[in-house]
Amino acid sequence: MAVPESIRKRAEELRKEIEYHNYRYYVLDEPVISDAEYDALMAELRRLENQYPELVTPDSPTQRIGAPPSQAFAPVRHEVPMLSLENAFTDEDVLDFDRRVRERLGVEHVEYTAEPKLDGLAVSILYEHGYLSLAATRGDGYTGENVTANVKTIRTIPLKLHGSGWPERFEIRGEVFMPIEGFKQLNEWALKHGEKIFANPRNAAAGSLRQLDPKITARRPLDFFCYGHGIYPPEQLPKKHHLLLAQFQEWGIPISPELEVVQTVAGCLRYYRRLLEKRESLPYEADGVVYKVNRFDWQEQLGYIARAPRWAIAHKFPAHEATTVVEDIEVQVGRTGILTPVAKLRPVQVGGVTVSSATLHNFEEVKRKDVRVGDTVIVRRAGDVIPEVVKVIKEKRPLDAKPVEPPDHCPVCGADVVSEPGETLIRCSGGLFCPAQRKGSIKHFASRRAMDIEGLGDKLIDQLLDKGLIKTVADLYDLTVDQVANLERMGKKSAQNLINALEKSKNTTLARFLYALGIREVGEVTAQILADHFRSLEKLMSATEEDLESIPGIGPIVAKHIVTFFRQPHNIEIIQRLKKAGVHWKEPEEATSPKPLDGKTFVFTGTLSSMTRDEAKKHIEALGARATNTVSKNTDYVVVGENPGSKFHKAQQLDITILDEQQFLDFLQQFGAI
């Protein structure tokens, strides 16, 4: 059946539009349409392609998840070998590297590029006539595996290059990685569904990319930064490495936002210290920094030794893994009653932090890893993820190492331990009568992303509960200065501060309040969806499971938990008491009412002295703007505090409006936000 011209044109329009929205969403982090609108565009394109299969082009956005499972990955020979890097572990190693570079070139001053070394999986991607045509893993450097179908599912990698002027045939090289947040969510999901837990983001990225079924890869939160090239016509190569990467970025290829050009080895070492300080707050795992001689002609002059270039080196961060001994295995009870085995460890330094306990996730994991009290284990700490036991060194197991079994009764309240069919997790059945669950729910209520009660930390909550001053979250708002002042390590002033913080927390948002209630399966995102949809607590409380399930993003399990929660008389009583105590919020407005900064994006860098980053974000969000992490040409304002990072330089390069702290405060004042 011939395809009518009008349909062909519509399919082409849809492809372009969807790719544009993919770019806004995945690369710029600045979507301009809702998920529902995006889904409607995809559905329309799929419909047309199903009706007229000849409309399916290799770069169609539908092809990102549509490829059939392959039986194995075919080998791919790299025309230009994929090199590895020499490692430097100390400043001296880097100074030696720079000395060797300068001596070989016979120069005094060398310009380098510096960027994070991501802990992921290296891939090479071939573009032909502007289309992604082949993607392969590094393999042994000479032959890799064909992972084209899987790489095509990574939303930030363009299937068709933007702009123009690209060589007919060229390769980009870079790292596929899993951002820490995505890794945490993937493991939480795996934990709940009894699936394999990944030891670290690197394994998760590698495991996801090497899935035989690309549909599985498509569901994994993978990302990519390009750091170099393979095949490339020499006459089209710019003079410097950073210019090539800037060119790649113009064609829609993601590069590290932390990339910087630095002068001499001193600049390299300064960059290293800056990045090391930021390491824990980076959204991905970096295991070091890579320095490269920026000029391509100098790179060529320097050449290679064995399989590593003489013009680049990886300066490694201190290890995030260490070996220690399991002194005990305790069972902790969380706020939803889940029993988690925790290894109590002989204290050990892991990447600059002393670690004395590590999660074992659940009892299936304890069995699978066969962890026993007395075992020598490898522990790992990644970003702000809770340290975990990676593996047991069986050769070092003492004869009296003690295995542990899951308990039948809650170690805190003695209630029966139960498990739901098909769940790996076991729970205490004591509900809010269990002191551990009560404590957990109060900690959650007070936490920064919930009611944000400053100063109400774990130790204080323990004391308040132990002294019988509070039993539920509603009791917090009945506390008096005198009651608090009598607690250990508290005085009149700190007690008054806590009462002030409680008073301040009463002014909240519906989404935060819903999240703070600790309804099972209602995290921050779900709470926001519910607040946006119902815009009133009363409406949500009277919603049926059916009403809830009709909302995009709310499934039957979440719907059931929500309805069950609002059916419990003690929950209703707590909500009424909280409202009576003065907890309030402005009903979220219709998304359509315009705000002065609608559509504007802000990036914050450095420390503000007058408010926290979260407070600053709240101010601009209230005016309709959004805060993003990456500076791009679509950023409207970059707010620069003390000790700003590379985003400041990027903003200068891109000529974006920069506001220092005072200018930012004036700006907010102008809109009556402060």
Q: Which residues are catalytic?
A: 117
* 228 contributes a contact to ligand 5U1 by CB under 6 A: yes
> Which residue's CB is nearer to ligand 5U1, number 76 or number 314?
314
Residue in 305, 369, 316 with CA at minimum distance from that of residue 343 = 369
Residue whose token pair is 């290293």 = 272
> Which residue's CB is nearer to ligand 5U1, number 225 or number 637?
225
* 227 contributes a contact to ligand 5U1 by CB under 6 A: yes
Restricting to residues 95-134, name those near ligand 5U1 by CB under 6 A. Answer: 115, 117, 122
User: In whole angstroms, what is the distance from residue 135 CA to residue 73 CA?
Assistant: 11
Minimum separation from the CB atom of position 227 to ligand 5U1 (A): 4
| DSSP code, position 424 | S
Residues shown for the chain: 674
Total residues at the site for ligand 5U1 (CB under 6 A)? Answer: 12
Classified as helix, coil or strand, 520 is coil
User: In whole angstroms, what is the distance from residue 479 CA to residue 355 CA?
Assistant: 35
Span interacting with ligand 5U1, options 78-86, 463-471, 477-485, 583-591, rule CB under 6 A: 78-86
* 254 contributes a contact to ligand 5U1 by CB under 6 A: no
* 83 contributes a contact to ligand 5U1 by CB under 6 A: yes
> Which residue's CB is nearer to ligand 5U1, number 61 or number 230?
230
> Which residue's CB is nearer to ligand 5U1, number 132 or number 302?
302
> Which residue's CB is nearer to ligand 5U1, number 270 or number 307?
307
Residue in 205, 212, 172, 207 with CA at minimum distance from that of residue 67 = 212
The residue ranges of DSSP E strands in 594-671, in sequence order, are 601-605, 626-627, 637-640, 657-660
* 640 contributes a contact to ligand 5U1 by CB under 6 A: no
User: In whole angstroms, what is the distance from residue 509 CA to residue 587 CA?
Assistant: 8
Residues 6+ apart with CB under 8 A from 160: 19, 59, 130, 131, 132
In Å, how far are 6, 12, 60 from 9, measured between CA atoms?
5, 5, 14
* 293 contributes a contact to ligand 5U1 by CB under 6 A: no
Restricting to residues 298-337, name those near ligand 5U1 by CB under 6 A. Answer: 309, 312
Minimum separation from the CB atom of position 520 to ligand 5U1 (A): 41
* 85 contributes a contact to ligand 5U1 by CB under 6 A: yes
* 84 contributes a contact to ligand 5U1 by CB under 6 A: yes
Classified as helix, coil or strand, 665 is helix
Minimum separation from the CB atom of position 433 to ligand 5U1 (A): 53
Please write down the long-range contacts of 310-314, taking CB distance under 8 Å and 24 or more positions apart. 310/100, 310/101, 310/104, 311/101, 312/85, 312/86, 313/85, 313/86, 313/87, 313/88, 313/93, 313/94, 313/97, 314/85, 314/86, 314/87, 314/88, 314/117, 314/288, 314/289, 314/290
Minimum separation from the CB atom of position 644 to ligand 5U1 (A): 22
Minimum separation from the CB atom of position 13 to ligand 5U1 (A): 37
Minimum separation from the CB atom of position 486 to ligand 5U1 (A): 56
Span interacting with ligand 5U1, options 81-89, 436-444, 643-651, 657-665, rule CB under 6 A: 81-89
Phi, psi of 18 (to 5 degrees): -65, -40
Q: Which helix (H) or strand (E) holds 226?
A: strand 223-229
C-beta neighbour count of 196 within 10 angstroms: 12
> Which residue's CB is nearer to ligand 5U1, number 83 or number 366?
83
> Which residue's CB is nearer to ligand 5U1, number 232 or number 671?
232
Q: Which residues of this chain interact with ligand 5U1, rule CB under 6 A?
A: 83-85, 115, 117, 122, 173, 227-228, 290, 309, 312
